[in-house]
């Protein structure tokens, strides 16, 4: 069997980028891979939404006054869970939560970054099988490392983001993210369960 070595996965690409940056800690690469992991979990549920009891309203309203869908709740739990168990995120803010959530364990308080996201944008489209997605942004914290993050770390202007991106769950699932080094697009290959580089240097 021939292996196509020209196809790069998200993990391979972020590790390669890390090697090209002097004094890089790898935290941002780790955070982007964690976002990719959470998105794979969400993608699995989105693809079988009509077959399991995950369609419809959850019975609550979010901070924007919108009806929360069951998949909104699931997606939010996946992103929160993966990011809180990683080592590269000090806290999160989500459209589905009333306030930001600091991670106060010994590893998280030493993390440089906070993440903001809408775990499932366009969730009103879920019940009619139209594409939906995740939107995320990453900021470098303002408060000192080793302390618990505060609101100040999240209330930063958009031009202070160190990374931003989106995931589209559709006929093919794509993850696109931008850093100061460029914009890269990856497509989820379901046969191997990996994000593979499909749109380099967009």
pLDDT in tens, the chain (202 residues): 455 557 899 999 988 887 887 777 889 999 999 999 999 999 988 877 654 455 555 556 555 556 667 888 889 999 999 999 999 999 999 999 999 999 999 999 999 999 999 999 886 676 676 789 999 999 999 999 999 999 999 999 999 999 999 999 988 999 999 999 899 999 999 999 999 999 999 9
Is 6 part of a structural domain of the chain? no
How crowded is residue 21: how many other Cβ atoms within 10 Å of its Cβ?
12
Range of the domain at 45: 25-170
The verdict on residue 5 lying in a domain is: no
> What's the number of domains the chain is made of?
1
Question: What are the helix (H) ranges across the chain?
Answer: 10-19, 27-47, 70-85
| 115 in a structural domain | yes
Which tokens go with 31?
């955070």
Read off the tokens for 19: 């090697």
Q: Which two tokens stand for residue 192?
A: 């191997």
Q: Is 116 a domain residue?
A: yes
88 located within any domain: yes
Q: Judge contact between 149 and 102, C-beta under 8 A.
A: yes
Domain assignment of residue 166, yes or no: yes
Tell me, yes or no, whether 72 lies in a domain: yes
Assign residue 108 the CATH number of its domain.
3.30.540.10
Instruction: Evaluate the CA torsion angle 154, 159, 163, 164 in order and state its sign.
Output: positive
Per residue in 104-145, pLDDT (tens digit) is 999 999 999 999 999 998 866 766 767 899 999 999 999 999
Angle at 175 (CA atoms; ends 174, 181), nearest 5 degrees: 135
- The answer to the question of residue 10 being in a domain is no
Mean pLDDT (the chain, rounded): 87
Residues shown for the chain: 202
Give the global pTM: 0.85
């Amino acid at each position: 069997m021939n292996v196509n070595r020209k196809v790069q996965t998200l993990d391979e690409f972020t590790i390669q980028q890390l090697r090209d940056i002097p004094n890089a800690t790898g935290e941002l690469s780790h955070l982007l891979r964690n976002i990719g992991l959470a998105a794979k979990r969400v993608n699995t549920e989105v693809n079988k939404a009509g077959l399991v009891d995950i369609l419809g309203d959850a019975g609550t309203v979010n901070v924007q006054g919108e009806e929360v869908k069951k998949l909104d709740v699931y997606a939010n739990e996946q992103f929160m869970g993966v990011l809180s168990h990683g080592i590269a995120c000090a806290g999160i803010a989500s459209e589905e939560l009333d306030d930001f959530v600091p991670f106060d364990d010994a590893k998280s308080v030493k993390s440089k970054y906070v993440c903001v996201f809408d775990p499932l944008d366009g969730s009103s489209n879920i019940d009619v099988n139209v594409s939906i997605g995740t939107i995320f942004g990453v900021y470098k914290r303002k408060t000192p490392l080793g302390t618990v993050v505060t609101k100040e770390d999240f209330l930063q202007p958009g031009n202070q983001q160190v990374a931003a991106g989106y995931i589209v769950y559709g006929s093919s699932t794509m993850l696109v993210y931008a850093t100061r080094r460029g914009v890269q697009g990856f497509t989820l290959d379901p046969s191997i369960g990996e994000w593979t580089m499909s749109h380099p240097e967009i």
